[in-house]
Amino acid sequence: MTNLNLIRWLLAFVKPLRWLMAGAVSLGIISNIVVIIIPVLAAVTAFQIFSGVTINLTAIMIVLICCGVIRGVARYCEQYLNHNIAFRLLAIIREKIFAQLRLLGPARLGGKKSGDLITAITTDVEALEVFFAHTVSPVLIACGTTILTVGFLARYHLGLALILLAGQLIVGVLLPFFSYRKHQQIGDHYQKNFVALNQAVMEDIASLQDIDQYNLQTEKLLELQQKGANLNQQYRLRLQQGSVLRIAGEVTLIATSLIILVLAVFWQLPMETIIVAPILSLSGFGSVLALNGLGNDLLMTFASGRRIYALMQEVPAVTFGTTDKTFALDEVSLQDVAFSYEQGKTILENINFTLKPGEWLGIGGESGSGKSTLVKLLMRYWNPESGQIDINQNNLSELSEEALHQLEGLMEQQTFIFETTLLENIRLDNAAISQAAVLKAAEEAEIAEWINALPDGLQTVVGSQARSLSDGERQRIGIARMLAYDAPLLLLDEPTSNLDYLNERSILSTLTKKIHGKTVLLISHRPTTLAITQKQLHVSGKTLKP
């Protein structure tokens, strides 16, 4: 992805807001011009008084005061507009990223580091602010201001105007460009180190117990310190580069003004030109100096932009169909299904079975044999490589995502508990499920008694930071969640393998007693668990055997 393409892609977001941006640019040019008018007018007036010309001092004072006021108001409005545009665009881009994450689904996101994703939706998006608020319109503002100031000076003397133009081009174009070229890698390296530190912190938090148990504190701390030091190193490089740039910008400004002064004297130009030209030059650099740091800032922004672009270009593993209607489950059938995650590494082949309504089928097999993969195919995280999965004689791929989720309920080895009330943990913010229905599901999952004994009942907040739950309680919440959603086809992937024997027996007995009229696919490597199903198959040698 070249930067030009990236810029084009980013600019496409600005298009709908171009009139606002035009307003911001106009205000920016006005605010820069009045800043130049103040010293130039003051100098010209001083010169005229000095030469004995009679002037209306009051009128000039009024003009100067007006310029000051205009500067303040125009600058405020320009900044307001630019940031308003930028943050609106960031919100739009964030929404697009979330939509894309949803589209990519578990299949594509499963392989990503959570640190990367979090960086994408936080830091990366934020970094684009530099482009939208501090690049697009400042570049246009600088162009406009430069044309006006150089044009104005050209009326006095063309040679001096060209020197001013050269100085402004050095500060606004050459310096940022060379700094960008020279330090291109810094942006990418900084980003990588930033993600690495993020990822390490998150992993460490998630594995606190293991770190404690295996006495890894010192190693982990060292690792964090190392990653922090790497990040600091990159940060220092960035700061250094910024300072060098700023100094170079200021030096160019002073040098240009000096050259203009010396040449004006040397060429024996009129006194007014000798006064106006250097002052115009000294005050005319504001807009290009604003671009001076761009090379540096855009390094980060483009690195972030490229990552967001790459994420947005990813193609989802599946696209859902359009069949929206819900229907009673009649039959699930798999015909000659084969699947592999990577080419040439077949996980499943020749998978054939049929599930009739109300049937309970158990699927066993060794760890890594492909049992969970089978569930993922039924959930349409992935499409089969060949063969067909049908529901009521319709291909699974014809169903919309909503229809599929209404048809299938999934429960896994571990139930994720959100940091919210038990009520919302069971109905997952689906307001269509009433509190009474949640309570009924909890009763069927045999956890209602436990919930009712809590001081806040269903309103008790649970989850990582709040009250934590036992594995058995978690799984019962999982069952309640599944029952509250009331899908006709239940996919149970090792629902009890996290539990001890007694807990397992008790959960299995709940499942057999309370699940009525549902079709169930139960996956487990434990024969004792599979025993609750009427029929069992085993994944062995990539295929299903009795």
| Least spacing, CB of residue 195 vs ligand ATP, in Å | 21
Which among 264, 276, 369, 381 has a CA at the least distance from the CA of 318? 381
- Binding part of the chain for ligand ATP, among 12-20, 58-66, 366-374, 527-535 by CB under 6 A, reads 366-374
The interface with ligand ATP within residues 446-505 (CB under 6 A) comprises none
514 touches, from Mg ion, ligand ATP, none (C-beta below 5 to 8 Å by class): none
Residue 372 engages Mg ion in binding (rule: CB under 5 A): yes
Picked from ligand ATP, Mg ion, none, the partner binding residue 525 (CB below 5 to 8 A depending on kind) is ligand ATP
Give the residue with the Cβ less far from ligand ATP, 139 or 374. Answer: 374
Q: In the set 365, 384, 409, 495, which binds ligand ATP (CB under 6 A)?
A: 365
User: What is the nearest approach in angstroms of Mg ion to the Cβ of residue 377?
Assistant: 13
28 lies in the binding site for ligand ATP (CB under 6 A): no
Contacts with ligand ATP, 69-108, as mask; x by CB under 6 A: ----------------------------------------
Sole window of 200-208, 244-252, 372-380, 514-522 interacting with Mg ion (rule: CB under 5 A): 372-380
Strand partners, 461: 421
Q: C-beta of 30: minimal distance to ligand ATP in Å?
A: 57
Bridge pairing between strands 535-540 and 360-365 = parallel
Tokens of 279: 């002052």
383-412 binders of ligand ATP (CB under 6 A): none
User: Counting contacts by CB under 6 A, is residue 341 touching ligand ATP?
Assistant: yes
Q: Does 527 bind ligand ATP (CB under 6 A)?
A: no
The answer to whether 475 and 499 have CB atoms below 8 angstroms apart is: yes
Q: What is the Cα–Cα distance from 384 to 371, expressed in whole angstroms?
A: 14
Residue 391's binding partner among Mg ion, ligand ATP, none (Cβ under 5 to 8 angstroms by kind) is: none
- Of the two residues 371 and 427, which places its CB atom closer to ligand ATP in the complex? 371
By C-beta, is 278 or 370 nearer to ligand ATP?
370
Alpha helices in 183-326 (DSSP H): 184-206, 208-213, 217-266, 271-283, 286-292, 294-313
Interior CA angle at 116 toward 115 and 119, to 5°? 85
CA distance 206 to 228: 19
Query: Quick one: CA torsion of 319, 322, 327, 331, rounded to 10 degrees?
Result: -40
Q: Provide the CA 531 distance to its chain's centre, in angstroms.
A: 45
Among 16, 110, 151, 527, binds ligand ATP (CB under 6 A): 110
Should residue 370 be labelled a site residue for ligand ATP when binding is judged by CB under 6 A? Answer: yes
Degrees to nearest 5, angle at CA 341 with 337 and 344: 85
Q: Could you tell me the CA-to-CA distances from 385 to 57, 335, 351, 413, 540 in Å, in that order?
A: 86, 12, 12, 26, 19
- Rounded to a whole number of angstroms, the minimum distance from the CB of residue 134 to ligand ATP is 40
Q: How far is the CB of 494 from ligand ATP (least distance, A)?
A: 6
Instruction: Tell whether residue 503 is a contact of Mg ion (CB under 5 A).
Output: no
> Which of 335/414 has CB closer to Mg ion?
414
Nearer Cβ to Mg ion (375/462):
375
Q: Least distance to Mg ion from the beta carbon of 407, Å?
A: 22
Q: Tokens representing 63?
A: 């003009």
Cα diameter, the chain = 112
Concatenated DSSP letters of 332-368: EEEEEEEEESSTT-EEEEEEEEEE-TT-EEEEEE-TT
Residue 448: half-sphere exposure toward Cβ, Cα within 13 Å? 13
Question: In residues, how long is the chain?
Answer: 546
Number of residues that bind Mg ion (CB under 5 A): 1
With CB under 6 A as the contact rule, the residue among 94, 112, 192, 525 that binds ligand ATP is: 525
Q: Contact between 497 and Mg ion (CB under 5 A)?
A: no
Q: Does 542 bind ligand ATP (CB under 6 A)?
A: no
Token output for 282: 């000294």
Q: Which does 309 bind (CB under 5 to 8 A by kind): Mg ion, ligand ATP, none?
A: none
Question: What angle in degrees, to the nearest 10, is found between the helix axes of 184-206 and 175-182?
Answer: 50
Strand order, beta sheet including 519-523? 408-411, 489-493, 519-523, 360-365, 535-540, 543-545
For residue 414, state whether it binds Mg ion (rule: CB under 5 A). no
Closest CB to ligand ATP among residues 434, 540: 540
Give 120's DSSP letter.
Answer: I
> 430: how many CB neighbours lie within 10 A of its CB?
12
- The least distance separating Mg ion from the CB of residue 514, rounded to whole angstroms, comes to 24
Residue 371 binding ligand ATP, by CB under 6 A: yes
Residues forming the site for Mg ion (CB under 5 A):
372
- By CB under 6 A, name the binding residues for ligand ATP: 110-111, 341-342, 347, 365, 367-373, 525
